[in-house]
Amino acid sequence: MATTLRGADIVIKTLERAGHTTIFTLSGNHIMSLFDAAIDSKLELSHVRHEAATVHMADAFGRLTGKPGIAWVTGGPGHANAVGALFTALGQESPMVLMSGHTETDQLGRGGFQELKQVEMAAPVTKASWMATNTATVGMDVAKAIRLATSGRPGPVHLSLPSDILDASVPEEAVVWPSASDFSDRPIALHDAAARAILSMIGEAKKPLILAAPRFANRTGHAIRDRLEATLGVPTVIMDSVRGFNDASAGNFAEVARQADLIVLLGKALDFTLKLGGAPVNPAAAFVAIDPSGALLDRAARELGARFAFGCLADTMPAAQKLMRLGSGRDRAWLETAHGLMRKRPADWGTMTSKTEGKLHPAELFTALRPYVDRHPDTVLICDGGEFAQWGQAMLPNPRRMINGVTGSIGSSLPMAGGARAVEKSAPIFAVLGDGTFGFHMSEFETAVRLNLPYIAVVGTDCRWNAEYNLQVRDYGPNRTFGCELDPTRYDLAVAGMGGHGELVTKVSDIAGAVERALASGKPACINVMIESIPSPVVRVT
């Protein structure tokens, strides 16, 4: 008797062949065949409480490993819940694949159950989005999604899986299985001539500056950045923040850009974070762009005009390796000047204290927290949200840092911490977020408890949507603030009620004990810190 396989079985076996056995998911009608097929497989399903959390967890997995994180959700409203989270992954160039269940193909346009234009909905926030249409070739669709997520500029990819495609059975010999080469593309190489032309321009410049894309914001990318600086003697900045030149974790980055006479965009898109090449960038600075996207090269050329000196199509990390192989060092005076500007912090940060009894200044909290973040070389730091998290970014340098990124979205940190724990089995994981942000995914503490994914969330509770409050004060005046107040909620008790560990901190002397007890608990933990409502830090050092 001939062996048959369901589409769901083919999806599972394809993922196994590719080594993708960690799945972040939330169940639903359209994907129950996937759950059934996974029972006898090598796959480990992390079942969460909200579809967006599956994407954020897969996003964290992708950033930390460089391999696509895999998320499964059901169709219709489940897909709709997940789509918004894709925007964060897209902005940070995080490789991941969202597989959504879908209405049966024979019911399309006929009012099928939870029918929705899922492909069109996901398209603006993904590299690619399509629907599988054939059971025998659905494995090829999965391989294509994985390949696209990692090729060129990495990012999220969406694949809709109609339930009839998953439920249908085909003879095993009819299945079109992907080969190893179907899961990855060969990188676009930087040609030697182009590399030498770029290195020549760098050599002729007095103050060159390399700006790297968000995809470099991981341990591998930081190592490449460090080697670039050591080999070429050129300051290299990884731009992964929505605040661009005002990113407090980069010190007086704006002054570095003002002095630079050549800017090399290493996969970094010319966008609003670069002020589209305007102030504070030196108006006389020439630009070079290395990018895997021809469209972004064209955009840079169009925006910069005569200042666009050279552009070439190439994948960025291999391009960086080529520049290091062919390049040589230069006088390090400019590199040291730039480092000095970007590393220096205002002296008073170390001595700032709260003026309000029972509340901490963010600076004194992060001064006390830093030894715990620095204690282990593999610590993962996640900074999410507005003003409070900006203090964390500025005061807690870490090569395994993940932030909400260039999209400026908030709310991802708690599921991202769970996703990070699926990768990092032993080192501490700290998530820094405000009380407004905490409300997005607080139910994922139950997920973390149930799945034994311990981490520590440090929640700055100032009872306010502080970023928006400060926008109102700045743009409309202190008497025109509205709709930004929150209650002094005991988030620590809420977490304890879900089986986690909770701590309340109201003075600096509480911090050490709270962190030690949270680490010792071995549970997902919330350290609820009552803080003053302070604007984000600004670094302007001359």
Tokens of 42: 């090598």
Q: Is 463 found in the same domain as 321?
A: no
pLDDT along the chain (542 residues), means of 10: 90 97 97 97 97 98 97 98 98 97 92 93 98 98 98 97 97 96 94 97 97 95 96 97 91 96 98 96 97 96 97 96 94 96 88 94 96 96 92 93 92 98 97 96 98 98 93 93 95 98 97 98 98 85 42
CATH number assigned to the domain comprising residue 413 = 3.40.50.970
DSSP state letter for 45: E
Q: Is 107 found in the same domain as 25?
A: yes
Task: Judge whether 115 and 103 are in contact, CB under 8 Å.
Answer: yes
Is residue 285 assigned to a domain?
yes
Q: Is 380 found in the same domain as 299?
A: no
CA distance 19 to 67: 10
Q: Is 197 found in the same domain as 248?
A: yes
User: Which of 3, 64, 52, 66 is CA-nearest to residue 24?
Assistant: 52
Residue with tokens 């230069």: 330
CA distance 141 to 166: 12
How many domains does one find in the chain? 3
Q: Is 279 found in the same domain as 220?
A: yes
User: How open is the CA angle 440-444-447, to the nearest 5 degrees?
Assistant: 170
The 10 Å Cβ neighbour count of residue 375 is 12
Which string of DSSP letters, residue by residue, matches 69-103?
EEEEE-STHHHHHHHHHHHHHHHTT--EEEEEEE-
Q: Phi then psi for 227, rounded to 5 degrees?
A: -70, -35
CATH number assigned to the domain comprising residue 332 = 3.40.50.1220
Q: Is 204 found in the same domain as 173?
A: no
Do the bridges between strand 169-171 and strand 4-6 make them parallel or antiparallel, or are there none, so unpaired? antiparallel
Sign of CA dihedral 399, 395, 59, 27: positive
CA distance 531 to 134: 56
Q: Is 196 found in the same domain as 222?
A: yes
Is residue 371 assigned to a domain?
yes
Is residue 307 assigned to a domain?
yes
Q: What local confidence, expressed as pLDDT, does residue 541 receive? A: 44
CA distance 178 to 192: 33
Task: Judge whether 328 and 231 are in contact, CB under 8 Å.
Answer: yes
Single out the residue in 343, 377, 393 at which a domain terminates. Answer: 343
CA distance 25 to 50: 9
Beta strands in 292-427 (DSSP E): 308-313, 380-384, 401-403
Is residue 76 assigned to a domain?
yes
CA distance 359 to 396: 20
Is residue 361 assigned to a domain?
yes
CA distance 402 to 273: 18
The reported pTM is 0.96
Q: Is 413 found in the same domain as 301?
A: no
Q: Phi then psi for 505, rounded to 5 degrees?
A: -120, 125
Is residue 539 assigned to a domain?
no
Q: Is 367 found in the same domain as 312?
A: no
Interhelix angle for 316-326 vs 219-232, to 10°? 30
Q: Is 357 found in the same domain as 291?
A: no
Q: Is 327 found in the same domain as 387?
A: no
Single out the residue in 317, 343, 369 at which a domain terminates. Answer: 343
CA distance 156 to 69: 9
Single out the residue in 311, 343, 375 at which a domain terminates. Answer: 343
User: Which of 307, 317, 421 is CA-nearest to residue 66?
Assistant: 317
Is residue 167 assigned to a domain?
yes
DSSP state letter for 346: -
Q: Is 204 found in the same domain as 321?
A: yes
User: Which of 511, 526, 492, 502 is CA-nearest to residue 413?
Assistant: 526
User: Which of 92, 54, 91 is CA-nearest to residue 73?
Assistant: 54
Q: What local confidence, expressed as pLDDT, does residue 540 receive? A: 57
Is residue 74 assigned to a domain?
yes
CA distance 150 to 148: 5
DSSP state letter for 152: S
3-state secondary structure (DSSP) of residue 64: helix
Give me the domain span that covers residue 126.
4-183
Measured CA to CA in angstroms, residue 93 lies from 22, 45, 126, 263, 404 at distances of 20, 24, 10, 21, 12
